[in-house]
Chain A
């Protein structure tokens, strides 16, 4: 009877375990295994090279680490500006303002748009020769600010980061708004009765209660931004030179440009490990902050 019950329990989790095995665990093991081969993705034979692909990624591939740095830079901008904007707009929409439902809808439009479409539209806006932004700057009497935004090495990466923030702030906005709505209104009323002004209420009520939400948004921002590439392909293709190369573009380049599937798999594993470490650190930080 006991054995039957145990078997039944296992049977319940079988579909989930099967899906996890087929779509997550086996592909991960397979990718790791492929990372130890030199393979062009076509020939049926693969050459075993041990850990040399991983060694090459870690010690010789400077462009890979440059792409990690670029992704880190975009992520930093996203964490600071994208989330600050999302938080401020969520605060604004949390209050009793006119047309707040309209604004909630509008702020969520960018994330649901296709990344390719967004990239191409922004490429058109930022075009150095016939772009709307430069035309507007000229009209405003600011010709010294006119630039080739996407082909100038000084501005390309930051421009891509700003567009990424515009595209992505809607997710943070929604999560922050949901978080703000869980804060009991009585706390603010009590603070007001005690003579607290708006800043004091924000500092002593909103901010501490929103820290777990902010950490969740930060984790999602880091994971989403580090893996961003569609927008970048559409806007700059990773150029000029290597100025907007990001890790996923390098993986694609290894796979499609160089036909080095094994090396691309090794890059994917290294990238995955980096993301896991970052997530783990953020998780530990979030656990610690919840204790306060």
Chain B
């Protein structure tokens, strides 16, 4: 019995030791190979192009660059947060999220300030980029995030988020395929024709609320101008201001006229892209990445890019645009010099042209636009009229953004009026402001 017992005891002890060893084995082993750079990203569509560029770079320099893909973007986002906590970020990584999240990574010491590299040789590297693309990665001297001013990211491509229209369907409902509706009035007038023809009007990923926020911001800039929008974010202008109610009312008008697709409020962007690519919807509100997506779904699709139809001529229509994807260098990486060198090579004209050709995204390098398609060129033309929340210097509270987005959904489904939504958003804004002031 005693022999059996001690045998069991040995088994239990062995199991305990094994468990401990397994737990200890979870810790990453740092690799200090100077000829190897590791990049984490989430861009599934760009992985083959990145791998090809990595092969070319290794041939050229002998430095092996490994692109590790972690998708979908939500999972990637969680992964880099976890890696930041355990101080195990790779040499190069991308940050998904708002400027506030970006600033936290910088303040935690995870992101290298690349201003000295960008500014060297009289700003030779800095000057190859579209200024809007760089601005998203920059913290100005008056930033409210408490970050040391500088450039902290390298833009790989640029994005604008605007509207696209199907030329054939627009003609079918009596529109001019070479002149899409420019004003809200013209746009709303198409509603009854869209309904009568049995096709869908505007499709978009409004189930993923940030896209509603984007369109609402476009109209807010058009109705009241940048200064008043930023004053609202700072808390100086309430959301119950008549101009904001006018912005909310635009969504009600769109819904009533019939230009919005059925089920838009729970539509995810992938479904919206399928509807537009399969020629079941006349308009889509989407980012410039859609050119690649639509080509994959329906290579023969004839469409053009347009700005959201304006409601006022007092201020210009301003769309969201800037860096689509950016890479950051890990400030703690022993290979940060190699990482910077690679990013510099990646953003050279030749590599940017290659990326634009293969992935149909707008290159961040402004000298690489020669070989892009006509539709993509239309998106590129509008980059100068774009803005982005990440360059405003102030951020709206996430709770307010959510209330605004959900409120607009409520307007679209006919549950609330514009005035009610404005009241509710302002209530949340005041709550968040008082919380901030109490800290």
Residues in chain B near residue A259, CB distance under 8 A:
97, 100-101, 104, 398
A211 to chain B, nearest CB (A): 40
Interface residue stretch chosen among B11-19, B180-188, B230-238: B11-19
User: What sequence of 0s and 1s flags, for each residue 1-30 of chain A, a beta carbon within 8 Å of any chain B beta carbon?
Assistant: 000000010011011001100100000000
Instruction: Let me know if B189 is at the binding interface, CB within 8 A.
Output: no
Using A42-B84, A259-B97 as known contacts, say yes or no to A239 and B105 having CB atoms under 8 A apart: no
Q: Is the CB of A129 within 8 A of B263?
A: yes
Instruction: Let me know if A192 is at the binding interface, CB within 8 A.
Output: no
A36 to chain B, nearest CB (A): 15
User: What sequence of 0s and 1s flags, for each residue 41-71 of chain A, a beta carbon within 8 Å of any chain B beta carbon?
Assistant: 1111001000000000000100000000000
Instruction: Let me know if A150 is at the binding interface, CB within 8 A.
Output: yes
Using A15-B19, A156-B266 as known contacts, say yes or no to A40 and B101 having CB atoms under 8 A apart: yes
Q: Is the CB of A43 within 8 A of B262?
A: no
Closest chain B residue to A56 by CB distance?
B435
Instruction: Let me know if B85 is at the binding interface, CB within 8 A.
Output: yes
Interface residue stretch chosen among B322-330, B341-349, B371-379, B405-413: B405-413
Instruction: Let me know if A242 is at the binding interface, CB within 8 A.
Output: yes
A287 to chain B, nearest CB (A): 35
Q: Is the CB of B12 within 8 A of A11?
A: yes
Q: Is the CB of A42 within 8 A of B104?
A: yes
Residues in chain A near residue B433, CB distance under 8 A:
none
State A14–B265 Cα separation when bound (angstroms).
53
Instruction: Let me know if B107 is at the binding interface, CB within 8 A.
Output: yes
A156 to chain B, nearest CB (A): 7
Q: Is the CB of A42 within 8 A of B108?
A: yes
Residues in chain B near residue A179, CB distance under 8 A:
none
Closest chain B residue to A130 by CB distance?
B280
State A257–B209 Cα separation when bound (angstroms).
10
Using A19-B19, A239-B207, A253-B402 as known contacts, say yes or no to A42 and B105 having CB atoms under 8 A apart: yes
B132 to chain A, nearest CB (A): 25
Instruction: Let me know if A110 is at the binding interface, CB within 8 A.
Output: no
Name A41's contact: one of B81, B265, B266, B267 (CB within 8 Å).
B81
Closest chain B residue to A126 by CB distance?
B263
Residues in chain B near residue A153, CB distance under 8 A:
413, 415
Instruction: Let me know if B51 is at the binding interface, CB within 8 A.
Output: no
Residues in chain A near residue B261, CB distance under 8 A:
129
Instruction: Let me know if B74 is at the binding interface, CB within 8 A.
Output: yes
Residues in chain B near residue A8, CB distance under 8 A:
5, 9
Residues in chain A near residue B45, CB distance under 8 A:
none
Q: Is the CB of A42 within 8 A of B13?
A: no
Residues in chain B near residue A47, CB distance under 8 A:
439
State A240–B5 Cα separation when bound (angstroms).
63
Residues in chain B near residue A151, CB distance under 8 A:
262-267, 413
Name A14's contact: one of B16, B78, B85 (CB within 8 Å).
B16
Using A22-B23, A40-B101, A151-B413 as known contacts, say yes or no to A14 and B262 having CB atoms under 8 A apart: no
State A241–B264 Cα separation when bound (angstroms).
12
Q: Is the CB of B398 within 8 A of A258?
A: yes
A126 to chain B, nearest CB (A): 9
State A127–B262 Cα separation when bound (angstroms).
9
State A256–B105 Cα separation when bound (angstroms).
15
A234 to chain B, nearest CB (A): 9
State A242–B402 Cα separation when bound (angstroms).
10
A150 to chain B, nearest CB (A): 5
User: What sequence of 0s and 1s flags, for each residue 96-124 of chain A, a beta carbon within 8 Å of any chain B beta carbon?
Assistant: 00000000000000000000000000000
Q: Is the CB of A241 within 8 A of B406?
A: yes
Closest chain B residue to A235 by CB distance?
B266
Interface size on B, residues (CB 8 A): 49
Q: Which residues of chain A in 201-245 are interfacial with respect to chain B, using CB atoms and an 8 Å cutoff?
A: 235-237, 239-242
Residues in chain A near residue B74, CB distance under 8 A:
256
State A60–B207 Cα separation when bound (angstroms).
25
Residues in chain B near residue A148, CB distance under 8 A:
262-263
Instruction: Let me know if B399 is at the binding interface, CB within 8 A.
Output: yes
State A284–B100 Cα separation when bound (angstroms).
48
Q: Which of B84, B101, B110, B413 has the most CB of A within 10 A?
A: B413
User: What sequence of 0s and 1s flags, for each residue 261-276 of chain B, a beta carbon within 8 Å of any chain A beta carbon?
Assistant: 1111111100000010
B76 to chain A, nearest CB (A): 12
Q: Is the CB of B101 within 8 A of A129?
A: no
State A242–B81 Cα separation when bound (angstroms).
27
Q: Is the CB of B406 within 8 A of A242?
A: yes
Residues in chain B near residue A236, CB distance under 8 A:
207, 266
Instruction: Let me know if B431 is at the binding interface, CB within 8 A.
Output: yes
Instruction: Let me know if B77 is at the binding interface, CB within 8 A.
Output: yes
User: What sequence of 0s and 1s flags, for each residue 253-278 of chain A, a beta carbon within 8 Å of any chain B beta carbon?
Assistant: 10011111000000000000000000
Residues in chain A near residue B107, CB distance under 8 A:
43
Instruction: Let me know if A189 is at the binding interface, CB within 8 A.
Output: no
A-B CB contact pairs (8 Å), 20 listed: A14-B16, A15-B19, A40-B100, A40-B104, A42-B85, A42-B110, A44-B108, A128-B262, A129-B280, A130-B280, A148-B262, A150-B266, A237-B268, A239-B266, A239-B406, A240-B410, A240-B412, A241-B409, A258-B399, A258-B402
| Given contact pairs A153-B413, A241-B415, a sample of 9 additional A-B residue pairs in the complex whose CB atoms are under 8 Å apart | A44-B108, A129-B200, A129-B261, A129-B280, A151-B262, A156-B266, A237-B207, A239-B266, A259-B97
Interface of B toward A, CB cutoff 8 Å: 5, 8-9, 12-13, 15-16, 19, 23, 74, 77-78, 81, 84-85, 97, 100-101, 104-105, 107-108, 110, 200, 207-209, 261-268, 275, 280, 398-399, 402, 406-407, 409-410, 412-413, 415, 431, 439
Query: What 10 pairs between A and B have smallest CB-CB spacing?
Result: A42-B104, A258-B398, A151-B263, A240-B265, A128-B263, A151-B266, A237-B207, A241-B410, A241-B409, A148-B263
